[in-house]
């Protein structure tokens, strides 16, 4: 007989065993994956109130890092309420960049934050949308998986959410063991209709797992109207009230604000939410997200989490000390005085929305920190650049380096080609990414090889010289997105090439998201004119890295992949390290040895202690 109230730990196994896997004999439908070890994994749930865009992903990943530093195995998951299966078709103007995981999953940009801060490669198990949940349930229903039951939001939809979280606990651990802590971030805010079933599922999960199994964190916002000149907590109070109305009592309140919250605000929040004052934290604005973990540690928020979840006995103090030293060195370099000042232009067509290039921004930050450079990023909309006037506009920007990033569609192509030509002809350090790689090929073919009608079939299917085209084996795949090369792919680097020097490796793995390639029949013409394809598919004639020799350009490098997606604070991406180093050399006029040795660039210019 099931007892009323919250089950205790010693009764949980019996409690869970009565949840039928098909639900034919009980109203408790909460399937538990095979090999799930009850009590091993704890859950930290981060929910937002008042407004979206508060930085739940940054907060959650920073908190996860603190527990990871203590030797605990952690894994995050983002629960999105939209009906898309993934983020692949979302417009960057509406939703920021699409972050591609190694397994090819196209996700929300928050997954990039998790990967960078935790230094982990995540998978599709770390990203869930309402579209995925509903598709799974309806597919199962059509196959008779519910044995005649009427399929409902509760218990079947909520049951699928709980099943996925428990499955992630199994898959997200280290060395084949179940994770110690799963960090669950719910997109949007409490009160959004599309998130209601997630919140209910998490309430149920906490009930089923038992006391000390789940820590609920409410991230809220403290407003400070300029006309009043003081912080006001009423919107935060009402948002927390909305959360409590769902049956969830938060354990911790994190207050986002421009400035540190006052004692008065903290006391009001504490009294209103039933959360003790020592568990109400100020999460005010900071210069860099990478300073947040140390700020949270100093506030002892990690200790509170350990106490709530009874995890103190799993802490590895030696591992924590070692992790703190490495991160502290990076933060010291990040916040300390820089030895160089440079400007880098990002020439794209989504520059009005910085989130569209979030990973590029962070990759520059990683490299510039290691090379002690203060980088001024100049965002230049390529749709404003015309063939005849682009040079004068770019010259006036006083750039030390140029990045031409990826994108889709014909808009802005004229500006990108003009930017590539200007950088190549004026010796400005250049990094092309995905479409930027393709534009470098097209521009070289037009200007240097003399194929004036060279283009990509993405923009002109009838062009005379399609140097960039969709290859035959890709054309056989039907459907929007079906021809995309997505996720991690191996890249073989040519021995003795500049790219091999940059990576200091013969083979690397990078992440791709593209549909068009260099047309093989033009490779010989391009290489005879001086373009070097120094990275390619290990087995097929697919070009993946290009460069110009030092006799033609000091730093002209491009990748068909997205190098920004694999950059980490303590392990900056080599192509960005090379670009920043080359920009420093350009600004200072420092000469490099013959051959422009990449390791010389990055080591001799740097005085950082990271």
Decide if 141 is catalytic.
no
Spatial distance between the Cα atoms of 416 and 489, rounded to a whole number of angstroms: 26
Q: Where do the DSSP E strands lie in 103-180?
A: 106-107, 127-129
Spatial distance between the Cα atoms of 506 and 493, rounded to a whole number of angstroms: 5
Radius of gyration for the chain, computed over Cα atoms and rounded to the nearest angstrom: 26
Spatial distance between the Cα atoms of 165 and 138, rounded to a whole number of angstroms: 19
pLDDT (0 to 100) of residue 41:
97
Residue from 371, 372, 380 nearest 352 by CA? 380
β-pair partners for 374: 341
- Among 340, 564, 586, 602, the active-site one is 564
Tokens representing 480? Answer: 């929007």
DSSP of 457-504: TTT-TT-SEEEEE--HHHHTS-STTTT-EEEEEEEEEPTT-HHHHHHT
Decide if 106 is catalytic.
no
Least confident of 54-58, 558-562, 570-574: 54-58
Q: Can you list the domains of the chain with their CATH numbers?
A: 42-328 (3.40.50.300), 340-604 (3.40.50.880)
Q: In this predicted model, what pLDDT tens digit does every residue of 298-342 receive, in sequence order?
A: 999 999 999 999 999 999 999 999 999 999 999 999 999 999 999
Question: Is the model's pLDDT at 493 over the cut of 90?
Answer: yes
Least confident of 91-100, 124-133, 207-216, 499-508: 91-100
pLDDT (0 to 100) of residue 476:
53
Range 565-579 average pLDDT: 96
pLDDT (0 to 100) of residue 474:
57
pLDDT-based confidence at residue 1 (cuts at 50, 70, 90): very low
- Among 95, 156, 340, 562, the active-site one is 562
Q: Count H helices, E strands: the chain?
A: 21, 21
Tokens representing 487? Answer: 């996720």
Helix-strand-coil split of the chain, %, nearest 5: 40, 20, 40
Q: In this predicted model, what pLDDT tens digit does every residue of 101-125 receive, in sequence order?
A: 999 999 999 999 999 999 999 999 9
pLDDT (0 to 100) of residue 475:
56
Pair 571, 584: CB distance under 8 Å = no
Question: Is the model's pLDDT at 94 over the cut of 80?
Answer: no
Q: Sign of the C-alpha dihedral, residues 136, 7, 210, 202?
A: positive
Range 547-576 average pLDDT: 95
> Is residue 135 classed as helix, strand or coil in its secondary structure?
helix
Pair 507, 490: CB distance under 8 Å = yes
Question: Is the model's pLDDT at 439 over the cut of 70?
Answer: yes
Residue from 340, 338, 421, 336 nearest 386 by CA? 421
Question: Is the model's pLDDT at 71 over the cut of 60?
Answer: yes
Residue 15 backbone phi and psi in degrees, to 5: -60, -50
- Among 156, 208, 209, 434, the active-site one is 434
Q: In this predicted model, what pLDDT tens digit does every residue of 357-401 receive, in sequence order?
A: 999 999 999 999 999 999 999 999 988 888 878 888 898 889 999
Top-ranked range on mean pLDDT: pick from 48-52, 309-313, 404-408: 309-313
Q: In this predicted model, what pLDDT tens digit does every residue of 160-183 receive, in sequence order?
A: 999 999 999 999 888 788 999 999
Pair 557, 579: CB distance under 8 Å = yes
Question: Is the model's pLDDT at 351 over the cut of 50?
Answer: yes
Spatial distance between the Cα atoms of 334 and 355, rounded to a whole number of angstroms: 21
Decide if 564 is catalytic.
yes
Question: Is the model's pLDDT at 608 over the cut of 60?
Answer: no
Residue from 385, 378, 390 nearest 343 by CA? 378
Spatial distance between the Cα atoms of 570 and 78, rounded to a whole number of angstroms: 24
pLDDT (0 to 100) of residue 596:
67
Range 262-280 average pLDDT: 94
| Torsion angle of the four alpha carbons 595, 599, 600, 602, in this order, in degrees rounded to the nearest 10 | 130
- In the sheet with 181-186, reading across from the earlier edge strand, the strands are 127-129, 74-80, 181-186, 42-48, 214-221, 252-257, 280-284
Burial of 565 (0-12, 13-18, 19+ CB in 10 A): buried
Question: Is the model's pLDDT at 81 over the cut of 60?
Answer: yes
How does 89-126 read in b/e, with b if 16+ C-beta sit within 10 Å? ebebeebbbbbbbbebbbbbbbbbbbbbbbebebbebb
Q: What percentage of the chain has pLDDT greater than the value 90? A: 71
Burial of 307 (0-12, 13-18, 19+ CB in 10 A): middle
Question: Is the model's pLDDT at 479 over the cut of 50?
Answer: no
| Strand bridging mode 430-433 / 401-404 | parallel
- The CA-based angle 303-245-260, given to 5 degrees, is 45
* Chain centre to alpha carbon of residue 133: 22
pLDDT (0 to 100) of residue 25:
57
pLDDT (0 to 100) of residue 6:
40
Q: What percentage of the chain has pLDDT greater than the value 70? A: 92
pLDDT (0 to 100) of residue 606:
63
DSSP assigned state of 150: P
Question: Is the model's pLDDT at 272 over the cut of 70?
Answer: yes
Tokens representing 186? Answer: 């719910």
pLDDT, mean over the chain: 89
């Amino acid at each position: 007989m099931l007892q009323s109230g919250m089950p205790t730990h010693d009764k949980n196994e019996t409690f869970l065993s009565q949840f039928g896997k098909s639900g034919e004999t009980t109203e408790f439908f909460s399937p538990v994956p095979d090999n799930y070890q009850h009590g091993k994994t704890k859950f930290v749930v981060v929910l937002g109130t008042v407004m979206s865009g508060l930085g739940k992903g940054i907060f959650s990943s920073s908190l996860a890092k603190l527990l990871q530093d203590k030797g605990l195995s952690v894994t995050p998951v983002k629960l999105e309420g939209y009906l898309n299966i993934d983020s692949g078709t979302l417009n960057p103007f509406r939703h920021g960049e699409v972050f591609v995981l190694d397994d090819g999953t196209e996700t929300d940009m928050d997954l990039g934050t998790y990967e960078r801060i935790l230094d982990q490669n995540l998978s599709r198990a770390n990203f869930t949308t309402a579209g995925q949940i509903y598709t799974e349930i309806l597919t199962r229903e059509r196959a008779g998986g519910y044995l005649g039951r009427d399929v409902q939001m509760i218990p079947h939809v909520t049951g699928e959410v709980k099943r996925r979280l428990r499955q992630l606990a199994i898959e997200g651990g280290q060395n084949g063991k179940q994770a110690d802590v799963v960090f669950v971030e719910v997109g949007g805010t409490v009160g959004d209709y599309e998130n209601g079933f997630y919140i209910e599922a998490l309430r149920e999960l906490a009930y089923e797992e038992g006391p000390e199994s789940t820590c609920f964190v409410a991230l809220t916002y403290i407003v400070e109207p300029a006309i009043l000149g003081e912080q006001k907590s009423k919107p935060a109070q009402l948002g927390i009230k909305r959360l409590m109305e769902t049956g969830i009592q938060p354990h911790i309140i994190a207050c986002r604000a421009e400035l540190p919250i006052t004692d008065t605000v903290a006391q009001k929040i504490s009294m209103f939410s039933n959360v003790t004052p020592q568990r109400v934290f100020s999460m005010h604005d900071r210069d860099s997200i990478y300073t947040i973990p140390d700020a949270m540690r100093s506030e002892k928020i990690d200790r509170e989490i350990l106490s709530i979840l009874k995890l103190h006995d799993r802490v590895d103090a030696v591992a924590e000390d070692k992790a703190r030293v490495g991160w502290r060195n990076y933060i010291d370099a990040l916040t300390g005085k820089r030895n160089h000042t440079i400007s880098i232009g990002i020439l794209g067509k989504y520059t009005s929305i910085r989130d569209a290039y979030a990973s590029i921004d962070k990759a520059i930050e990683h490299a510039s920190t290691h090379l002690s450079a203060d980088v001024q990023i100049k965002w230049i909309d390529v749709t404003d650049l015309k063939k005849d006037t682009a040079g004068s506009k770019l010259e006036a920007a006083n750039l030390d380096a140029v990045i031409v990033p990826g994108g889709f569609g014909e808009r802005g192509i004229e500006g990108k080609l003009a930017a590539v030509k200007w950088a190549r002809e004026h010796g400005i350090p250049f990094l092309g990414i995905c479409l930027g790689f393709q534009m470098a090929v097209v521009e070289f073919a037009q200007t240097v090889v003399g194929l004036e009608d060279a283009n990509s079939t993405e923009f002109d299917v009838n062009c005379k010289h399609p140097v960039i085209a969709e290859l035959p084996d890709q054309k056989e795949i039907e459907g929007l997105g079906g021809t995309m090369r997505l996720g991690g792919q191996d890249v073989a680097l040519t021995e003795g090439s500049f790219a091999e020097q940059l990576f200091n490796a013969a083979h690397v793995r990078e992440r791709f998201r593209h549909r068009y390639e260099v047309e093989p029949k033009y490779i010989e013409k391009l290489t005879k004119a001086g373009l070097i394809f120094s990275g390619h598919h290990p087995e097929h004639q697919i070009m993946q890295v290009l460069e110009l020799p030092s006799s033609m350009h000091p730093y002209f490098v491009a990748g068909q992949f997205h190098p920004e997606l694999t950059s980490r604070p303590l392990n900056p991406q080599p192509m960005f390290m090379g670009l920043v180093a080359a920009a420093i050399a350009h600004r200072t006029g420092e000469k490099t040895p013959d051959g422009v040795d990449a390791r010389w660039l990055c080591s001799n210019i740097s005085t950082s202690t990271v």
